[in-house]
Amino acid sequence: MGKKVKKVMKNVGNDLPAASSIPENQSLDFLPLEGGPGKRIPNEEDVNVSNSTVLYIGRIPRGFYEDEMRGFFEQFGTIKNLRIARNRKTGKSKHYGYIEFQSPEVAKIVADCMHNYLLYEHMLQVHLVPPERILPKLWKGANSKFRPVNLQAIELKRHNKERTTGEHKRLVQRIQRRERKRQRKIKAAGIDYECPDIVGNIQPAPKKIKFDDED
Alpha helices in the chain (DSSP H): 3-15, 66-73, 104-114, 151-159, 165-188
pLDDT value of residue 213:
53
The total number of structural domains in the chain stands at 2
Q: Which residues contact 110 (CB under 8 A, 6 or more apart)?
A: 55, 73, 76, 77, 99, 101, 126
Q: Would you say residue 86 lies in a domain?
A: yes
Q: Would you say residue 198 lies in a domain?
A: no
Q: Which residues contact 129 (CB under 8 A, 6 or more apart)?
A: 49, 52, 54, 55, 56, 98
Q: Are 117 and 73 in contact (CB under 8 A)?
A: no
Q: Three-class SS of residue 31?
A: coil
Q: How far is CA 47 from the centre of its chain?
A: 25
Report the CATH number at residue 99: 3.30.70.330
Q: Are 54 and 102 in contact (CB under 8 A)?
A: no
Q: Would you say residue 176 lies in a domain?
A: yes
Q: Would you say residue 91 lies in a domain?
A: yes
- Please tell me whether residues 135 and 166 are part of one structural domain: no
Domain, as residue range, for 90: 45-139
pLDDT in tens, the chain (215 residues): 455 444 434 444 444 444 444 455 555 544 455 555 555 544 545 456 678 899 999 999 998 999 999 999 999 999 999 999 998 778 888 999 999 999 999 999 999 999 999 998 899 999 999 988 888 888 887 887 777 778 888 889 988 888 888 888 898 899 889 988 988 999 899 888 887 776 655 555 555 555 555 55
pLDDT value of residue 118:
93
